[in-house]
């Protein structure tokens, strides 16, 4: 019976104070050069783009650019996604960054045309 009383007394004690759990979504994400993660983001972005989910695709391409800031293709694909969404300001920023990284790239002429058309 003594064991039952001590168990009941224990159950009534307040739980020990624990630090609050940190929500990962609230913590700022830290990026370090990671071309493998960038490539994964590009693959998922391409999937969303083909599916017609251009907002999701743009987010993945931007994420790829954060993991690998010199990934010209990430900026190109983000610009294409924003062009589909008719977000001209974001398109311009992405395309201009693409041209900084790949001024002589195979898509550079088309990108310049798109930028000139959306002035």
CA of 60: how far to CAs of 50, 83, 113, in Å? Answer: 13, 15, 25
pLDDT greater than 60 at residue 2 = no
User: What confidence tens digit (pLDDT) does each residue in 87-104 have?
Assistant: 999 999 999 999 999 999
* CA 15/CA 119 separation, integer angstroms: 62
For residue range 13-60, what is the model confidence (pLDDT) as tens digits?
666 666 666 666 677 778 899 999 999 999 999 999 999 999 999 999
- Contact of 98 with 72, CB cutoff 8 Å: yes
Which residue has tokens 């924003």? 82
What confidence score (pLDDT) does residue 119 get? Answer: 74
Tell me which residue of 89, 34, 32, 40 sits closest to 60, measured CA to CA: 40
Give residues with Cβ within 8 angstroms of 35, minimum separation 6.
67, 68, 71
Token pair in block for residue 22? 């940190």
**C-alpha closest to that of 111 among 70, 63, 79, 71:** 79
Provide the pLDDT for residue 12.
67
Check residues 62 and 11 and name the one with the higher pLDDT.
Answer: 62
Q: pLDDT value at position 31? A: 86
Structural domains in the chain plus CATH codes: 32-117 (1.25.40.10)
Q: State the pLDDT at residue 24.
A: 62
């Amino acid at each position: 019976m003594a064991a039952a009383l001590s168990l009941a007394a224990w159950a009534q004690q307040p739980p020990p104070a624990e630090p609050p759990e940190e929500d990962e979504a609230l913590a700022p994400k830290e990026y370090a050069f990671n071309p493998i993660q960038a490539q994964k983001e590009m693959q998922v972005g391409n999937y969303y783009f083909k599916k017609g989910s251009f907002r999701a695709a743009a987010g993945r391409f931007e994420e790829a650019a954060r993991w690998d800031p010199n990934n010209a293709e990430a900026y190109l694909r983000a610009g294409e996604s924003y062009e589909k969404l008719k977000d001209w300001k974001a398109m311009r920023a992405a395309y201009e960054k693409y041209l900084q990284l790949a001024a002589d790239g195979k898509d550079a002429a088309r990108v310049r045309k798109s930028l000139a058309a959306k002035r």
